[in-house]
Chains A and B, each alone.
Chain A
């Protein structure tokens, strides 16, 4: 059965308002002691058999991290994070001695992915999607490897790329998100464990959707994902990222860095469906999701498009951005962020226009229910050389109930008089008459809310790859369960 089909079926069978991916897997884990220090970083690097230059890079990042202040500006109520009270590395023992094939992977882990609807066995593979699955700190399997390598496409875990393609990693890692960018970027650079690496060679259109599935399983473990995607001249790639975590009473930290580089005429489409455990109704537990995602349109006519559906996590702090360097390059950001109960989200984008005739488009849909808070924070920055730059921004917020909040914080900085920036924003409450109309047609109140909210998000959801759009629609409905009553 196809992966998405399986997931949808699974989602369908789950009727209650509880988190659907809240099971955990019993596997023996290898873990160094809690805490953040040089020893841990050396341990991680040694576990991964990294070359010396990689370790140096990490240690330098750690020095930077110690000097940087913690970010203050997000409209979030962030409890002080105790970096010493967290594990930075955890891998299932059975994965320590790299399994050569899927047959060698612990059946418990394979089962986990099956439960999630992500089949890793080749024969069960979803046609058209190559999957890299990250379980806690390591990459479990990369499917479709052979077919991709015939095209010269590199799709592997970043730890593997460090060894097999050091020149590419050295050249591009940290080139879009400098280590010193902010504290989470530095932290990630010091302790990142795994993530995906993709290189699409010149002139190649990647024939399948590439996909990574992240799962946090171990207790008290931070997950520091690092993804690097490089699209060489005239190439195209579409990448999907999905995530879940089990229900735990304590908070878990996910601090990812994702860097994209598009060279001349290249296009990267990056889609995320994030449903990390959001915590319970009272706000206990849940993932802290502090993610730095940034794409550089380095070449002329290049394009980077971010689409995200953010429904999970206790706290989301994330601004997928585009640096539009190449002339005529394009950046797009399509976002749905849903917060329910006690969830907090502060998300948006930055579009930095540097090249001539660069254009960007931002469509953001924020939905808040319960006592949740949802902030769109965006920056459109047009530098003086960006003649004829264009931006269109539309931010719509939908409130369900009286106790939630929506905030829109758009910053526009333009140093070029030829440029044109348009901004539209709306905030509305879910329309009682629409709900009544749907219920009069037999939909229960939750289905009615799900339907209306999905309609509200349509402009964004339609940018997801087909297979994921349906799943995302169900997620939208599920994450709002219990919001009316």
Chain B
């Protein structure tokens, strides 16, 4: 699915990612943990193609394609999804309209016809219900005056409606209350299958109780310093980054 080799990234001359390797296969869930400022969000932006990041070295292969050559929207329509750490507000654009536009953009890219209005309404309703998002919410402007947790839930709604192949969740759990955390995790688990993959960025082992990862990676100063299975997250919880990084 995704193969990152020797990635070096800088922004405004500042080196952020310094030789990162990561390989994610179909059907796998990888967790990425690491201290503040270690480059997690930067990695998610580079993968989704945000401007202004300079790729100094390395390659990224996505399903046999050179990911770095694709535009942001091409990557998205090829099934790459980023649940943002800080979702954007879009004033004047109704949430449901945004969802519809996103779905139809993808369908257009894939050469399919627009989704029928009724079919769309049904899909949105069922997905929103699963995530405990009210229809009132969907009539509001996208993310405008949403609470922190509501924004995160909105990201997961978008994800489940677009059913991506490769989803990156950047601290989706931060800001969610206990019930919402469970609901969102269930949403993610429901989407999991043998064809898609997840990269879950988090600070808290608690999320990984719900979304069981196949691999856990620890990033520090722009490099993956340790990889392991679920137990690494538990170990991290106990010892903290400092100690773990040293034993690496």
Query: A433 touching B88 by the CB < 8 A rule?
Result: yes
A441 and B77 alpha carbons, distance in the complex (Å): 8
B102 at the interface (CB under 8 A from A): yes
A452 and B90 alpha carbons, distance in the complex (Å): 7
Query: A442 touching B105 by the CB < 8 A rule?
Result: yes
Task: Decide yes or no: A437 and B105 within 8 Å by CB, A432-B51, A442-B73, A442-B77 being known contacts.
Answer: no
List residues of A (424-466) whose CB comes within 8 Å of B's CBs.
Answer: 431-434, 436-445, 447-448, 451-452, 454-459
Main secondary structure, interface of A, reads helix
Chain A residue with Cβ nearest B76: A442
A445 and B141 alpha carbons, distance in the complex (Å): 20
- Shortest Cβ distance from residue A448 to the other chain B in the assembled complex, whole angstroms: 8
The residue in B72, B84, B87, B102 that gathers the most chain A C-beta atoms within 10 A of its C-beta is B72
Chain A residue with Cβ nearest B102: A441
Task: Decide yes or no: A437 and B93 within 8 Å by CB, A442-B73, A443-B73, A443-B105 being known contacts.
Answer: no
B46 at the interface (CB under 8 A from A): no
Chain B residue with Cβ nearest A459: B92
Task: Decide yes or no: A436 and B50 within 8 Å by CB, A442-B73, A459-B92 being known contacts.
Answer: yes
Task: Decide yes or no: A434 and B90 within 8 Å by CB, A442-B105, A451-B101 being known contacts.
Answer: yes
Task: Decide yes or no: A441 and B92 within 8 Å by CB, A436-B50, A436-B51, A447-B105 being known contacts.
Answer: no
A433 and B162 alpha carbons, distance in the complex (Å): 20
B-side contacts of A458, CB under 8 Å: 91-93
Chain A residue with Cβ nearest B84: A437
Query: A451 touching B90 by the CB < 8 A rule?
Result: yes
B-side contacts of A438, CB under 8 Å: 90
A146 and B98 alpha carbons, distance in the complex (Å): 43
B106 at the interface (CB under 8 A from A): yes
Choose among B49, B90, B141, B162 the residue that contacts A437 (Cβ–Cβ < 8 A). B90
A440 and B73 alpha carbons, distance in the complex (Å): 6
6 pairs of A and B residues whose beta carbons are closest in the complex? A455-B92, A458-B92, A442-B105, A437-B88, A439-B72, A455-B93
Task: Decide yes or no: A440 and B91 within 8 Å by CB, A445-B73, A447-B105, A455-B141 being known contacts.
Answer: no
A-side contacts of B71, CB under 8 Å: 439, 444
B82 at the interface (CB under 8 A from A): yes
- A-B contact sample (11 more), CB < 8 A, given A441-B76, A447-B101: A439-B73, A440-B48, A440-B49, A441-B101, A441-B102, A443-B102, A444-B71, A444-B73, A447-B105, A455-B93, A457-B92
Chain B residue with Cβ nearest A462: B92
Query: B105 touching A441 by the CB < 8 A rule?
Result: yes
- Shortest Cβ distance from residue A74 to the other chain B in the assembled complex, whole angstroms: 29
A438 and B162 alpha carbons, distance in the complex (Å): 13
A439 and B77 alpha carbons, distance in the complex (Å): 9
How big is chain A's contact interface, by range? 20 to 34
On B, residues with C-beta under 8 Å from A are 48-51, 71-73, 75-77, 81-82, 84, 87-93, 98, 101-102, 105-106, 109, 141, 158, 162
B-side contacts of A445, CB under 8 Å: 73
Query: A451 touching B158 by the CB < 8 A rule?
Result: no
Query: B92 touching A454 by the CB < 8 A rule?
Result: yes
A440 and B162 alpha carbons, distance in the complex (Å): 11
A-side contacts of B90, CB under 8 Å: 434, 437-438, 451-452, 455
B-side contacts of A441, CB under 8 Å: 76, 98, 101-102, 105, 158, 162
A433 and B48 alpha carbons, distance in the complex (Å): 13
A345 and B214 alpha carbons, distance in the complex (Å): 59
Query: A443 touching B92 by the CB < 8 A rule?
Result: no
Query: A436 touching B92 by the CB < 8 A rule?
Result: no
A-side contacts of B88, CB under 8 Å: 431, 433-434, 437
A447 and B77 alpha carbons, distance in the complex (Å): 14
- Shortest Cβ distance from residue B161 to the other chain A in the assembled complex, whole angstroms: 10
- Shortest Cβ distance from residue A458 to the other chain B in the assembled complex, whole angstroms: 3
- Shortest Cβ distance from residue B75 to the other chain A in the assembled complex, whole angstroms: 8
- Shortest Cβ distance from residue B95 to the other chain A in the assembled complex, whole angstroms: 11
Task: Decide yes or no: A442 and B102 within 8 Å by CB, A432-B51, A436-B50, A437-B84 being known contacts.
Answer: yes
A-side contacts of B73, CB under 8 Å: 439-440, 442-445, 448
A432 and B45 alpha carbons, distance in the complex (Å): 13
Task: Decide yes or no: A456 and B51 within 8 Å by CB, A439-B76, A442-B102, A444-B105 being known contacts.
Answer: no
- Shortest Cβ distance from residue A388 to the other chain B in the assembled complex, whole angstroms: 32
B-side contacts of A432, CB under 8 Å: 51
What are 26 A-B contacts defined by CB distance under 8 Å? A434-B90, A437-B84, A438-B90, A439-B49, A439-B72, A440-B49, A440-B73, A440-B76, A440-B82, A441-B98, A441-B105, A441-B158, A441-B162, A442-B76, A442-B77, A442-B102, A442-B106, A443-B101, A445-B73, A447-B101, A452-B90, A454-B93, A455-B93, A457-B92, A458-B91, A458-B93
- Shortest Cβ distance from residue B243 to the other chain A in the assembled complex, whole angstroms: 36
B-side contacts of A447, CB under 8 Å: 101, 105
A-side contacts of B158, CB under 8 Å: 441
Query: B98 touching A451 by the CB < 8 A rule?
Result: yes
